[in-house]
């Protein structure tokens, strides 16, 4: 299952391809739509692990565990 941000990036990629085909031979004056929106699965996993790691450090430093 993909998230909203990943689907937005997919749509931006398709729209950019349509614009390039439609305006071929003519430079586009506006910036292309952002294609990379949100986080990858790996980034989410690593971020979660870092969060757990810092939480454990905090709890150990307060002698809760």
pLDDT given at position 25: 65
Instruction: Give the max Cα distance, the chain.
Output: 67
Residue appearing with tokens 């692990």 = 49
Q: What is the pTM of this model?
A: 0.45
- How many structural domains is the chain composed of? 1
Rounded to the nearest 10°, the torsion over CA 14, 19, 22, 25 is -130
Q: Do the beta carbons of residue 3 and residue 38 sit within 8 Å? A: yes
pLDDT grade, residue 11 (50/70/90)?
Answer: confident
CA distance 38 to 54: 23
Q: Tens digits of per-residue pLDDT, 12-59?
A: 777 877 777 776 766 555 555 555 566 778 988 999 999 999 999 998
The domain of 37 spans: 4-61
């Amino acid at each position: 299952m993909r998230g909203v941000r990943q689907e937005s990036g997919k749509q931006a990629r398709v729209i950019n391809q349509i614009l390039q085909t439609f305006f071929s031979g003519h430079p586009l004056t506006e910036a292309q739509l952002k294609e990379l929106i949100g986080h990858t699965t790996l980034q989410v996993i690593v971020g979660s692990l870092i969060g757990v790691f810092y939480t454990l450090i905090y709890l150990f430093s307060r002698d809760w565990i």
